[in-house]
Structure 1
Amino acid sequence: PELNLLPLRRGGSVENDNVLCRTMIGEIIAIGNELTSGRITNTTSAFAARELFLAGHEIYAMHTIGDTPKLIGEALKRAIRRVDFVIVTGGLGPTTDDLTNEAVAEALQRPATLNEAILEKIRSQLRDPDGQLDALEKLAWLPEGAEVLSAEERMAGHLLVHDDIPVFFLPGVPVQAQKLLVDIVLPRLSGWSGCNKYQRMRLYKTVGLPEHEINQRLMPLEQEKQVSVGYYPVDFEVHVSLSVSGSSAEEADTLLNDAEQRIQETLGDHIYGMDRETLAEVVGNLLRENRLMLSTAESCTGGLISSQLTSVPGSSEWFAGGVVAYSNHVKEVLLNVDRDLLRNYGAVSGQVARAMAARLAARVGTKISLSVTGIAGPGGGTEEKPVGTVYIGLFYKNKVKDTLHHFSGRRKEIQEMTAQTALDMVRRVLLEK
């Protein structure tokens, strides 16, 4: 059955000095057989929804549709009837299965017209215009009335305003769509809504508490007028959204400050970051503030922790490097782990985890070192040490400790939970006074 969102269009309005401020409600439509078949994960819709939320907008529906013009047209017409803006991704390319513009032409009665500027842009970028132009000319045919979003890109995306509703068409390639969304779409929507000065948004990222417990702790805050709280499990974290609205910028700021203080007091150090921060970024900032270099010794995670750390720009300031010591031989040779420890306690043990962290710190000269060793599965487990058994070691301030964890799930999930828990262990020890 069709969702009835009509009463929610342009919701949350407040009047102030004859200026109407509103929260804009949107819908995202992702197009492509590669998405509906499961060959490609639809990361763009999640990225768009998160960025739109942080900009003060709300997404009430997200759809994934194959390259079928009739279904695309139906979804588009339905969205235009019930929300304030629509974002469509995919189906804008030059191949025969890129059918978004054809669907728009049919559904909205907007026949395709040749955009000479785009055509010239394509021609100027081709080494052999005569041989390739025919294949790429499709990119220059846009629905009647469409406005090109960027003059710099060949796959520029476009904006079509239909029945006073802005519809943004973005490329299916995630990096292209995300750049256009941040650089062009969000500023354009901000100009339409006029709402940012009255609404404030925050996204808190937490670890170590289940969703239901966070909900119980924050229930009193949910009862407050002009305050909205939401809970979203993301991978092995829980994200808490906070939205406040007021009749003036000052009131909205006051409401936000009060609500933020209550959330921080209630959840404490389970909050690791806000908005777009990642756990690796937070750890990196703490290491930088403490003028520390971190080293890592990984077994069961196979370099995942190092990968997450080095994905942060500027990580060379606080990350010395890591060793993937998968076999016992490498643990002995590169980390100087005693053979007797491995023989007596096994590679998956607190004793070995501590030795990995301490010996690596000594070998590379860092004051803090992290290690992980465990059984990620699906095989290798025993009754004494089942799959999911993980030891995390940490060397800091000339002391070394280990913690034992029992994770569940598939191999990748166990590795990701191990990496997250290990980084959070570093975060917490650096927060200690």
Structure 2
Amino acid sequence: MIGEIIAVGDELTTGRIINTTSAFAARQLFLAGHTVAAMHTIGDTPKLIGEVLKRAVGRADFVLVTGGLGATTDDLTNEATAEALERPATLHPEILEKIHARPWGDVRALEKLAWLPQGAEVLNAEARMAGHLLVHETVPVFFLPGVPMQAEKLLTEIVLPRLNDWCGGSHSAVRTRLYRTIGLSECEINQWLLTLEQEAQITIGYYPVGGEVQVSLTVAASSEAAADNLFNAADQRIRLILGEYLYGTDQETLAQIVGQLLWENKLLLATAESCTGGLIGAKITAVPGSLAWFAGGVVAYSNQLKEKLLNVDAELLRKHGAVSEPVAEAMATGLAARTGAEIAVSVTGIAGPDGGTVDKPVGTVYIGVFYQGAARAKLHHFCGSRNEIQEMTAMMALDTVRRVVLKTSKERE
């Protein structure tokens, strides 16, 4: 079934609150085999609420409305619906009775909750939350509260099963997976997967996020078995095409994957950071259990600390500058010697917005790695804001560790 989502509330249109409810609903509807054709976010304006609702009812198979169902004066969804769809407000005695049975609060202020558009059916009479269904011209319109936890509960427990019954259980079987890559651009991945993207029943999406590119695979088929077969075949092809640029799937982070590799190979990692100011360490220590494979890190921003904490030679800094290949290698070597870690990664660069030169523009970053008694460094050129350059540097540093460990692991096989 094809539906539309309408989120109501000035708190959403002013940016005071992020509209997570619509995102959750769209995701759950998608996984249940439904298509969300449009998502609307509008303020507490009755005329606008009514206009958007009438248009949605006129073209969708179902509509989901969230917000504006409470007892305060700015909760106007029911009033707008009653007028727009010509369904006068009608008292629901069972709701009123429950309101008056409350042992606390001003029940008179809550009586508004008992007046719903004509023909409305309460979704859960036992729950202490708003929510009702109104079938208008054969189109089911589900009204859910704006409070995320309440809306999510009603959606998963009542709305989705009711929609399944509505379409006779004949919706598509859907499979989806998110692939997380690093080292390739969005356009490069698009070209690599173009043939697969053009196949029927398969949808590919590309999403640059921070220092990585995420690729989504969606497969829809008429049966569960057909969806599984199609999905498994597409999944194998994507993994083969992306190769080592693919570091994980779904909710896996690069730091998690790196940690797993280090733990499996009984390696201890240390980090030497200059331009990232501890961001690499923060990503690592966000992983539970990272103590098993992370020794710690040094944030050496000044040349003096690079000399004192990482044993970088002053003459090396004078001759080549802090942002250079020899210094990146020396930082990693010095850190490994000081910590006893088997592998050390270092970063030094110009994150901007100032500090760049003709020879070393903003975004110039050297990433060094020490492993198995030798150090090497690679030059990278990143672009974007200071935060973006720092994020890309941290991600690429972690990926450098991942690739080094993967390479040596394969050589031992």
Q: Which TM-score applies when normalising by structure 2?
A: 0.77
Check conservation: 1:391, 1:404, Cα contact below 8 A: yes
- Match for residue 409 of structure 1? 384
Partner of 1:59: 36
Q: Which amino acid aligns with 1:296?
A: T
Cα deviation 1:166-223 (Å, max 9, x = unaligned): 5363546xxx55x964x66346565343478833222223233233332322232234
| Residue pair 2:34, 2:171 contacting (<8 A) in 1 also | no
- CA 1:376–1:150: 2 relative to 1, 3 Å: farther
Deviations, residues 287-340 of structure 1 (Å, cap 9, x unaligned): 333343433222222222233333334444444433332222333343333333
**Letter paired with 1:421:** M
Higher mean alpha-carbon deviation, 344-353 vs 186-195, is at: 186-195
Q: CA deviation at 1:380?
A: 0.9
Cα distance in 2 for partners of 1:364, 1:387 equals 31
C-alpha distance in 2 between matches for 1:291 and 1:158: 54
The verdict on how the C-alpha distance between 1:404 and 1:362 changes in structure 2, with shifts beyond 3 A counting, is same
Report the CA distance between 1:377 and its aligned residue: 1.0
Query: AA paired with 1:370?
Result: V
Partners of 2:291 and 2:213 in 1: how far apart? 29
1:294 paired with 2:264, answer: no
Aligned sequence identity (%): 58
**Distance (whole Å) between structure 2 residues aligned to residue 375 and residue 105 of structure 1:** 60
The match for 1:71 among 30, 48, 51 is: 48
Q: Distance in 2 between matches of 1:340 and 1:135?
A: 80
Give, as a single letter, the amino acid of the residue that structure 1 aligns with 2:297: G
How far apart, in 2, do the equivalents of 1:343 and 1:325 lie?
16
1:260 matched residue in structure 2? 235
Work out which of the residue numbers 194, 199, 202 in structure 2 matches 1:227: 202
1:218 aligns with 2:196: no
Contact 1:168/1:185 (<8 A) preserved: no
Equivalent residues in 2 for 1:147-296 (5 A)?
A: 147=123, 158=131, 160-163=133-136, 165=140, 167=142, 169=144, 171=146, 176=148, 181=152, 185-186=155-156, 188=158, 191=161, 192-193=163-164, 194=169, 198-296=173-271
What is the distance in 2 between the residues matched to 1:168 and 1:335? 61
Partner SS, residue 414 of structure 1: helix
The alpha carbon displacement at 1:111 in A equals 6.4
CA deviation string 1:65-99 (max 9, x = no partner): 33433323333343344445555556678876565
1:113-149, Cα deviation, whole Å (9 max, x unpaired): 767768989x8xxxxx77xx69996997785644469
For the residues of structure 2 that align with 1:238 and 1:200, how far apart are their CA atoms? 20
Kindly indicate whether the alpha-carbon contact (under 8 Å) linking 1:150 and 1:157 is maintained by their aligned counterparts in 2: no
Which residue number corresponds to residue 375 of structure 2? 400
Number of the residue aligned with 1:323 = 298
Task: With the length of structure 1 as denominator, give the TM-score of the two structures.
Answer: 0.74
SS at the partner of 2:193? helix
- Give RMSD over aligned pairs: 3.9
The one-letter code matched in structure 1 to 2:52 is A
Distance 1:339 1:264, change over 3 A: same
Q: Does 1:357 align with 2:327?
A: no
Gapped regions of structure 1 (runs ≥ 5)? 1-9, 11-24, 124-128
Which of residues 356, 373, 376 is equivalent to 2:348? Answer: 373
Are the counterparts in 1 of residues 21 and 146 from structure 2 also a CA contact under 8 Å? no
Preserved contact between residue 69 and residue 113 of structure 2 (Cα < 8 Å): no
Task: Specify the alignment match of 2:317 in structure 1.
Answer: 342
- Contact residue 54 and residue 203 of structure 1 kept, 8 A: no
Shift of residue 270, structure 1, vs aligned partner:
2.0
For 1:34 and 1:261, the matched residues in 2 are separated by 44
Partner of 1:13: none
Q: How does 1:48-127 map to 2 (within 5 A)?
A: 49=26, 53=30, 56-88=33-65, 103=80, 107=84, 109=87
2:46–2:76 CA contact under 8 A, matched in 1: yes
C-alpha change, 1:74 and 1:427, in structure 2 (3 Å) is: farther
Partners of 1:118 and 1:394 lie apart in 2 by: 66
Please state if 1:304 is matched with 2:279: yes
Q: Secondary structure at the match of 2:275?
A: coil
Say if 1:282 and 1:190 are closer, same or farther in 2 by CA, change over 3 A. farther
The code of the aligned residue for 1:220 comes to T
**1: CA distance, partners of 2:368 / 2:125:** 51
The change in CA–CA distance for 1:170 and 1:340 in structure 2 (over 3 A counts) is: farther
Q: Name the aligned partner's letter for residue 169 of structure 1.
A: L
Q: Please give the alpha-carbon distance, in whole angstroms, between the structure 2 residues aligned to 1:300 and 1:375.
A: 6
SS at match of 1:409: coil
Contact in 2 for aligned 1:55/1:186 (Cα 8 Å):
no
Distance 1:34 1:363, change over 3 A: farther
Deviation at 1:349? 1.7
The answer to whether the 8 A contact 1:201-1:241 is kept is: yes
Distance in 1 (alpha carbons) for counterparts of 2:250 and 2:172: 18
Distance 2:266 2:133 in 1: 51
Q: How many residues align?
A: 394
- Helix, strand or coil at the partner of 1:71: helix
Residue 68 to residue 320, structure 1, CA distance change in 2 (3 Å): farther
